[in-house]
Amino acid sequence: MKKILYTFLQCVWGLPQTLLGLILFFIYIKNKHYFYHGAIVTERDTVSSVSLGLFVFITTKPIRDRRAENKIPNEEMQKRLLVHEYGHTIQSLIFGPLYLIIIGIPSVIWGYSPFYRNKRERGGSYFDFFTEKLANDLGEKVTKEKSMGKAVI
C-alpha cells in the first residue's frame, strides 16, 4: 500500500520532476533498472547521481576525493548514494511542485559553485549543504540504512 501511495503522490504532487525523470529514464532505457522502496532506479556510467520524483539515477562511478582518509569501497558508496538519492525523492513528496526550486536548483548550483570547491579544499563535505544534509537524514529515516553522512567526494 505504501508503494502505491508513494507512486501516486510522485506522479501527482511531484509531477514536474517526475516528468523530467521519465524523459531521462527513456534516455537510459537500455541501462540496468530496479526498484528501491518504490522508486525506479537506473544505473548509469556517469560520475554523478540525481533524483527526479519517482526516478533515481545512480552512478556506477562515484566521484572520489583522493584526500579522503576513510575510503569507502565502491559497492558501499553506491548503497549509501542510493539512500541519499532516495532521500531526495522524499523531499519531492514534501515539497511537491516546489521541489525543483527549493531543492533541485540550489543543489545543482551548490555542486558547481566556487563556494563548494573552496569548502572541499578545506576538507568540507558536499553533504554539508542543507539540501544534501536533509536528503541524507530523510533517506536514513525512511530506509533505516546508512547514507553518505559527511563523506568527502
Give the Cα separation of 148 and 12 in Å (integer). Answer: 29
Residue 128: inside a domain: yes
| Residues 3-27 pLDDT 10s | 899 999 999 999 999 999 999 999 9
Residue 149: inside a domain: no
Residue 148: inside a domain: no
Determine which helix (DSSP H) or strand (DSSP E) holds 148, and give its type and residue range.
none
Residue 150: inside a domain: no
Residue 77: inside a domain: yes
Among candidate residues 93, 103, 84, the one with its CA nearest the CA of residue 41 = 84
Q: What is the mean pLDDT of the chain?
A: 89
Would you state the pLDDT for residue 64? 60
Question: What pTM, to 2 d.p., does this model score?
Answer: 0.90
Amino acid at 12: V
Question: What is the longest distance spanned by two Cα atoms in the chain?
Answer: 46
Give the domain range for residue 56: 2-143
Number of domains in the chain: 1
Pull the grid cell for residue 135: 536528503
Residue 42: inside a domain: yes
Determine which helix (DSSP H) or strand (DSSP E) holds 55, and give its type and residue range.
strand 55-59
Give the Cα separation of 102 and 107 in Å (integer). Answer: 9
Contacts of 26 (CB under 8 A, 6+ apart): none
Residue 22: inside a domain: yes
| Residues 67-84 pLDDT 10s | 454 567 778 888 999 999
Give the Cα separation of 138 and 49 in Å (integer). Answer: 17
Give the Cα separation of 9 and 57 in Å (integer). Answer: 19
pLDDT < 50 regions, the chain: 67, 69
Residue 56: inside a domain: yes
Would you state the pLDDT for residue 152? 64
Beta sheet of 55-59, edge-to-edge order: 33-36, 39-44, 55-59, 50-52
